[in-house]
Amino acid sequence: MRPILRPQYVLSLFFMMASGYAHQAVSQGPSHADLIQRGQALYLTGRLASGDLIKAKRLDLGEIKSGSDMACVKCHRPSGMGSLEGDLTIPPITGRFLFQKEEGQPVAVLDPRTARKITQPHPAYSLRSLSKVLREGVDIRGKKMSPLMPHYTLADDDVRAIMAYLDSLSATVSPGVSPTQIRFATIITPDTPPHRKDLLIKMLSSAFHQRNVSQRLHSGSMGMPMEHLPHVHREWDLAVWEVTGDPSTWQQQLIQYNQDHPAFAIFSGTSEGTWEPIQDFCERGRIPCLFPSLIAPPQQTGSHSFNFSKGLALEAAVLSKFAAMRDREGPTHWIQVHKTDVPGQLASKTFIKSSEGQPRTITDIEWDGSLKNLQDQLQTNAMNMADSSLILWLSSEELEALHLDQWQTLPKGIYLSGHLTHGHPPQLPETMAASVHVISPYEVGLKRSKQTDTLRSWLKTWDLPLSDEAFQSEVFFDLLMLTDLSSQMLDNLYRDYLIERTEDMLSWGTNVSVYPRLSLSREQHYASQGAYVTKLDSKGQLVPESDWMVP
Ligand code: HEC
C-alpha cells in the first residue's frame, strides 16, 4: 500500500523549500527565472536557448527529428501530467512526480480504463539521472524505456533549463481548489427561460449534494474504483454565475465573480443567445468551460472551451447537404424564415453560405416578431409557395402562433429545427404532418429512449421532473462527466489537466446523452458532428429520413 498523501499544499510548500537547495548549485549560470523560461520554450515549442531547434532520435521510427514535433508537450501535454497513446502510457513528469523523495510523490491514474494503472514511486530524479533519460532513454532505475520516448541531443544547460521548468510546472493546484473544497461554476444568461434555469439549478444542486454525501461516507453510488485510490476528499461547491444586462458587460461581470470566489472550472450552463463573451472569458482566463447547453455556440473552437455541437449552424449545414441530395433533378426554391437574434442569424447565414454552388435560390425572410408582418411577407411569396421548400427557424411556441393549419397553400416541404423545437415537433394537423421534416441533432426513437434511461431513473430518485429531455440529458451528461473526470484526476487538480482529460475522455465510456455518438480530439472540441433529417410517422414520432449526416 502507498502511504496516504498529506494535503497537497503541504507537499508543495515542502517541495518549494527542497528544490531551493538544488537551484543554489547552478546559481553561477543564468538566473532561475531565465532557466524556467528557456525550459518552457524547449518544452512547448522545441526551441533551444541558442535559437536552434531541438533534435532527437525516435527509435520507433528510426529517424532523427527536430523542432516542435519533438517538443515534450506533444506527449507529456501542457500540464506535464502525461497522456495515453493507444495502450501506451506516457507518465507525468512535473517536479512533484520526478524530483520528490519516494514517500512524497503524488499518485496519478495513468489509464482510467484500468484503474490499477497508477504511477509507481521511484527514487527522486537528479540532474544526472534526468539527463540520462533525455539523452539515452534510460530511467532512474536503469530500465531501458519505451522507444517512443525520444533520445535528445542536449547541452547540460538545456537539461538544467528543462529541470527548472518541470519543477515549476503544475506545482500548485489551480484557483478554485482549497484543501477542503473544489468550486465549479455554472453560467446562466438573461435570455434563459425560467423553467430551464430552475431545472438546471435543481439538477446540479441535487447531484452536488449526492456526491458530497457519498464522499463523506467513502462509498456511494457514484463511487468507482478510482475513488479508492488515496486522495484528499474535497466537497464540491456549486457557484451559479448569472450574468445580466448587455452581453458587452458580461465578461466584466464574470471576471468579478471569479475574483470574488474563483472557480476551478465552468461547466454546463445555458444560453438561448450569444455565448461569445463567455467563451472569451474562459479563453482569456484559461479556465475550462465544459459543455454548456447552447443553440448558437461560438463557431470558432477555443482551447479551453468544449461544446456539444455547432448548434443551429450544424443543422443548417446538414439541411443544405440533404437538400443537395434531393435536388439532383434541377433548381429549387427555398424560403427561410428566421428571427434577427443571434440564433436566427447563425442558422440563416449558414444555410445561405452552404448553399453556394448549388442550383438553389433562397428567399430570406427576417421576422421582426410581428405576426402581421410575417403573414404579409409570406403572402407576397404565396405564388411561389407551392413550388418551394420552407424552413422555419422558429421555436414550437412561435410555430403555434403562426397557425400553419390555416394556411391556404402549403409548401413542398416544411423544415423545422431540432434545437429550437427541443427535439419534439409541435402539434400539427394530420394533413400537414406529412410534409413536415425536423432536422434532429439528437438520436431518435428507441435508441434515444435507451440512452436516456439512466437520466429518467436518476430524476425519479431525486423527485425531479422530466420536462425538457434534450436539455436535461445534456446537464446530466455534464454531471457524470465531471464525476468521472474528478475521480480520474485524484489530487492533480490543474485546469490544463482537466482539459487534457476531457479531450481524451469521450472516446470511451457509456453514452448517456441524447447524441448518437460523442468524440473529441485535441484539435476538435465539438463533441457531436452530425444530424438526421427526420419526418413524422403516423404516431407523430420522429423517424430518420436520412442517415446520420455529417456536413
Ligand atoms: C513522442 C513522445 C514523447 C516525447 C516527445 C517526449 N516523451 Fe518523455 N516519455 C515518453 C514515454 C512513452 C515515456 C515512458 C517510457 C517508458 O516508461 O518506457 C517517457 C518518459 C519520460 C520520463 C521518465 C519518467 C519516469 O517516471 O521515469 C521523463 C523524465 C521524460 N519522459 C521527459 C521528457 C522530456 C523532458 C521531453 C522533452 C524534451 C520528453 N520526455 C518528450 C514519450 C515522450
Ligand 1: residue of 68, 120, 145 to mutate (most ligand atoms within 8 A of CB) is: 145
Average pLDDT over residues 519-524: 87
Measured CA to CA, the distance from residue 489 to residue 1 in angstroms comes to: 19
pLDDT tens per residue, range 526-549: 999 999 999 988 888 889 999 999
Q: Tell me how far the alpha carbon of residue 127 lies from the centroid of ligand 1, in angstroms.
A: 15
Nearest atom of ligand 1 to the alpha carbon of 146: 18
Measured CA to CA, the distance from residue 162 to residue 149 in angstroms comes to: 15
Nearest CA to ligand 1 atom 27: 139
Q: Tell me how far the alpha carbon of residue 91 lies from the centroid of ligand 1, in angstroms.
A: 7
Q: Which helix (H) or strand (E) holds 334?
A: strand 332-339
List the single range of 353-357, 427-431, 433-437, 443-447 with lowest mean pLDDT: 427-431
Nearest CA to ligand 1 atom 14: 90
378 vs 488, more confident = 488
Residue 512 has what pLDDT?
85
Measuring CA to CA, which residue among 196, 184, 221, 199 is closest to residue 459?
199
φ, ψ at 240 (rounded to 5°): -105, 110
Average pLDDT over residues 227-252: 92
Domains and CATH numbers, the chain: 8-168 (no CATH), 181-308+448-513 (3.40.50.2300), 312-440+533-544 (3.40.50.2300)
Residue with cell 400539427: 428
Could you tell me how far CA 233 lies from the centroid of its own chain? 25
Angle between helices 342-354 and 312-326 (to 10 degrees): 30
Strand-pair partners of 85:
88
3 state SS of 436: strand
Q: Tell me how far the alpha carbon of residue 93 lies from the centroid of ligand 1, in angstroms.
A: 8
Q: Which three cell numbers stand for residue 38?
A: 528557456
Measured CA to CA, the distance from residue 413 to residue 535 in angstroms comes to: 10
Residue 508 has what pLDDT?
56
Q: Tell me how far the alpha carbon of residue 500 lies from the centroid of ligand 1, in angstroms.
A: 17
Q: 13 burial class (0-12, 13-18, 19+ CB within 10 angstroms)?
A: exposed
Measured CA to CA, the distance from residue 55 to residue 241 in angstroms comes to: 47
Non-local CB neighbours of 2 within 8 Å, separated by 6+ positions: 107, 121, 230
Measured CA to CA, the distance from residue 363 to residue 341 in angstroms comes to: 18
Residue 16 has what pLDDT?
37
Ligand 1: residue of 59, 90, 102 to mutate (most ligand atoms within 8 A of CB) is: 90
Nearest atom of ligand 1 to the alpha carbon of 58: 1
Nearest atom of ligand 1 to the alpha carbon of 70: 5
Measured CA to CA, the distance from residue 308 to residue 268 in angstroms comes to: 10
Residue 61 has what pLDDT?
86
22 vs 131, more confident = 131
Q: What letters, b where the CB count within 10 A reaches 16 and e where it falls short, cover 62-95?
A: eeebeeeebbbbebbbbbbbbbbeeeebbbbbbb
Task: Give 27-44 as a DSSP string.
Answer: TTSS-HHHHHHHHHHHHH
Nearest CA to ligand 1 atom 38: 72
Residues with CB under 6 A from ligand 1: 70, 72, 74-76, 88, 90-91, 93, 98, 133-134, 139-140, 145-146, 148-150, 152, 162
Measured CA to CA, the distance from residue 393 to residue 344 in angstroms comes to: 7
- The region, left, alpha or beta by phi > 0 then psi within -120 to 50, assigned to residue 405 is alpha
Positive or negative: CA dihedral 34, 38, 39, 45: positive
Q: Tell me how far the alpha carbon of residue 236 lies from the centroid of ligand 1, in angstroms.
A: 34
Q: What is the mean pLDDT of the chain?
A: 88
Q: Which helix (H) or strand (E) holds 242?
A: strand 235-242
**Residue 124 near residue 102 (C-beta atoms within 8 A):** yes
Q: Tell me how far the alpha carbon of residue 158 lies from the centroid of ligand 1, in angstroms.
A: 16
Asked whether residue 23 carries a pLDDT value surpassing 70, the answer given is no
Positive or negative: CA dihedral 243, 248, 253, 258: positive
pLDDT tens per residue, range 493-520: 999 999 999 998 755 567 888 999 888 8
Q: Tell me how far the alpha carbon of residue 124 lies from the centroid of ligand 1, in angstroms.
A: 16
Nearest CA to ligand 1 atom 17: 145
Residue with cell 411561389: 384
**Residue 235 near residue 212 (C-beta atoms within 8 A):** yes
Strand-pair partners of 235:
181
Strand-pair partners of 270:
188, 293
The DSSP call for residue 355 is: T
Ligand 1: residue of 48, 93, 158, 160 to mutate (most ligand atoms within 8 A of CB) is: 93
Beta strand 388-393 pairing with 332-339: parallel
Nearest CA to ligand 1 atom 31: 149
pLDDT tens per residue, range 408-425: 778 889 999 999 998 677
3 state SS of 263: coil
Give the CA distances from residue 32 to residues 41, 53, 167, 315, in Å, rounded to whole numbers and listed in that order: 14, 22, 11, 53
Nearest atom of ligand 1 to the alpha carbon of 97: 26
Q: Tell me how far the alpha carbon of residue 208 lies from the centroid of ligand 1, in angstroms.
A: 37
pLDDT tens per residue, range 460-500: 999 999 999 999 999 999 999 999 898 889 999 999 999 99
Nearest CA to ligand 1 atom 40: 72
Measured CA to CA, the distance from residue 535 to residue 23 in angstroms comes to: 69
3 state SS of 486: helix
Nearest CA to ligand 1 atom 43: 149
Average pLDDT over residues 188-193: 96
Q: What letters, b where the CB count within 10 A reaches 16 and e where it falls short, cover 345-382?
A: bbbbebbbebbeebebebeebebeeeeeebeebbeebe
Residue 20 has what pLDDT?
39
Q: Tell me how far the alpha carbon of residue 207 lies from the centroid of ligand 1, in angstroms.
A: 38
Asked whether residue 32 carries a pLDDT value surpassing 60, the answer given is yes
Measured CA to CA, the distance from residue 91 to residue 110 in angstroms comes to: 7
How many C-beta atoms surround the C-beta of residue 434 within 10 A? 12
Asked whether residue 24 carries a pLDDT value surpassing 60, the answer given is no
Ligand 1: residue of 54, 60, 76 to mutate (most ligand atoms within 8 A of CB) is: 76
The DSSP call for residue 362 is: E
Q: Tell me how far the alpha carbon of residue 57 lies from the centroid of ligand 1, in angstroms.
A: 13
Q: Tell me how far the alpha carbon of residue 89 lies from the centroid of ligand 1, in angstroms.
A: 10
Nearest CA to ligand 1 atom 34: 72
Nearest CA to ligand 1 atom 36: 72
Nearest CA to ligand 1 atom 41: 72
pLDDT tens per residue, range 257-278: 999 999 999 999 999 999 999 9
Q: What percent of the chain has pLDDT over 70?
A: 92
The DSSP call for residue 426 is: P
